[in-house]
Copies of this chain bind each other. A is one copy, B any other.
Amino acid sequence: MTGGKPETGKTGSAAGASRRATLKDVARAVGVHVSTVSRALNPATRHLITEEIATRVLEVSRELNYRPNPAAYSLRTNRSHTIGIVVPDITNSIFPPMIRGVEDVLAPHGYAALVVNTDLNREREAAAISTLSARGVDAMVVASAEREDAELSALAKQGTPVVTINRRTDDASVSSVISDEIEGVRLMLAHLVELGHRRIATIAGNQNLSTGQRRYDAFLRNTLAMGLHIGPEQVGFANAFNEAEGRRCMEELLARGSGSTAVLCANDRLAIGAISALRGRGLSCPGDVSVTGFNDMAMVDCIDPPLTTIRIPHYGIGQAAAQFLLQRLNETDGGPAPLHQVLPVELIVRASTAAPRKGSAEGPSGDPAVSHMRIVR
């Protein structure tokens, strides 16, 4: 119906069916050359044009509902006004707010975002980055970075504006916006200690990701600094940041009989898994063991028990990344030093933490009197 051959002449007839107006159309209507129209429409070059005719052009282009053809613009200028966002999985609710943060600052500047998922798959991440750059995105924000990420390093080296969010690469030449995980872990540990916990275990995340590495590192340093003794039986390593791994690690911890009264998990999902494992063994949280998360993802305030966690500024991380890119995009020269931003976090105390049971180990590292873990074993 719509797309049929419009009119007869090929050069002709602006009055055709519903063809989208082009520069040529408004030029003809105003009675000037297309280049004049182009200049009049571009704020940066409008000053070259007679006031009167410029306004006339604006009028007519509005009447004709002129919309610049992005493909033509892009072909000519090599800028697509599109940015790529790559996330492990948009379905993981920590990412959507970050994405919104990015979009909300970019959209007013005329940028739209192409969102792709990688599912934590090395190859898919490489493919995603490659696809996006083949598509000519002007910049990329990537939430799926691994500590060793050749693709990302190459991309940055090559000059594409790129920021990682939430995680960072070991290669300091690729910019990043993350949260203050070191401080987060410290706050949480302090909270636990204040409640009276002395034997604290951890479920650490994947050490190939900066989140996993930094949080575990902070755990080690801070427990030591606080005078707590941590033995190998008190740490479990999750292979992925999800509930299943949280469950598995918690079971492992229980089986080992570490006698810990609290478990600091590297993220909320691990914590949820840990709590469910506890239940599976007939233990209660926080009654028998306190469990803490990290991220404060959506809904963890509604779960049973409401999770004590560290709130990271999801939305703010996205915003900051976008602001950085915007700045980078407006520079003429190659680029300044890479930026590494660390945003503040907040301790959110809810109900998954409580003072340890009476009779639990009280000394910093004494023989843990608590044996309920072994009992259920």
Contact = CB atoms under 8 A, between A and B. Distances in A.
A139 to B, nearest CB: 14
Nearest to A297: B299
A303 to B, nearest CB: 4
Contacts of A298: 91, 93, 299
A112 B112 contact: no
A90 B96 contact: yes
22 contacts: A1-B159, A3-B334, A69-B75, A70-B71, A70-B74, A70-B136, A71-B71, A71-B74, A71-B75, A72-B75, A75-B75, A90-B99, A91-B96, A93-B299, A103-B116, A103-B117, A104-B117, A113-B114, A113-B115, A299-B300, A299-B302, A302-B302
Nearest to A332: B3
Interface string A124-146: 00000001101110000000000
A158 interface: yes
Contacts of A334: 1-3
Nearest to A76: B71
A97 interface: yes
Contact of A91 (B1, B70, B89, B97): B97
Contacts of A104: 117
Interface residues on A, range: 35 or more
Nearest to A302: B303
Contacts of A18: 158
A303 B301 CA distance: 9
Interface string A142-156: 000000000000000
Contacts of A99: 90, 115
A107 interface: yes
A178 interface: no
A328 interface: no
Contacts of A131: 112
Nearest to A303: B302
A100 interface: yes
A80 interface: yes
A107 B99 CA distance: 19
A278 interface: no
Contacts of A89: 100
B100 A112 contact: no
A99 B131 CA distance: 18
Given A18-B158, A96-B96, 20 more contacts: A2-B158, A69-B136, A70-B135, A71-B80, A75-B75, A90-B100, A91-B100, A91-B298, A93-B298, A100-B117, A112-B114, A112-B116, A113-B114, A114-B114, A115-B115, A298-B299, A299-B302, A302-B303, A303-B304, A304-B305
A74 to B, nearest CB: 4
A113 B89 CA distance: 14
Contacts of A68: 134
Nearest to A114: B112
A100 B82 CA distance: 20
Interface in A294-312: 298-300, 302-305
A2 B334 CA distance: 7
A67 interface: yes
